[in-house]
Amino acid sequence: MSSQKRKSSDSQSSPANRMIYREFGSDDNSSAVERPSIEIPPAQQNPRVQASRKGRKGKTVTVINNLQLKEENLEALLKQLKSQCGAGGTIKDNEIEIQGDHTQKIAQFLISLGYKAKVSGG
């Protein structure tokens, strides 16, 4: 008999709509998940360009951080840098990663765009 009761209670609430615990607020948390996008002019930004191998199984990657750009502008800059270096790349945690050691080339390119880029690290 208990299995019949269980079946009837399971049919009333689907697993997707089942609420375990909620203190307050609504189901929509998209505004909390969004990253604030503050666009600063290139002349006021100081991006750091460095070559890194940590956590990449010995592969060298050029990392550009301290860029404060909107997502679409960051992707456009990534596309320009990839074509400038002739290498692949990606965006991770608001940092641009270009495959290979292209620190000097990327720093010169960013300076030509108006950024105050500096090469950091050894």
- State the amino acid at position 9 in one-letter form: S
Task: Over range 86-99, report the average pLDDT.
Answer: 95
Give pTM, 2 decimals: 0.69
Q: Count Cβ atoms below 10 Å from residue 96 Cβ, excluding itself.
A: 23
Residue 55 located in a structural domain: yes
pLDDT at 3: 52
> Which of 105, 110, 122 has the alpha carbon at shortest distance from 54?
122
As a whole number of angstroms, the longest Cα–Cα distance in the chain is: 77
Q: Which CATH number fits the domain that encloses residue 47?
A: 3.30.780.10
Task: Over range 18-24, report the average pLDDT.
Answer: 71
pLDDT at 31: 63
Q: How many domains does the chain have?
A: 1
pLDDT at 48: 96
Residue 17 located in a structural domain: no
Residue 5 located in a structural domain: no
Residue 73 located in a structural domain: yes
Which residues span the domain enclosing 45?
33-119
Indicate if the pLDDT at residue 84 is higher than 80.
yes
Residue 87 located in a structural domain: yes
> Which of 121, 2, 112, 114 has the alpha carbon at shortest distance from 60?
121
Residue 102 located in a structural domain: yes
Residue 25 located in a structural domain: no
pLDDT at 35: 59
Task: Over range 15-32, report the average pLDDT.
Answer: 68
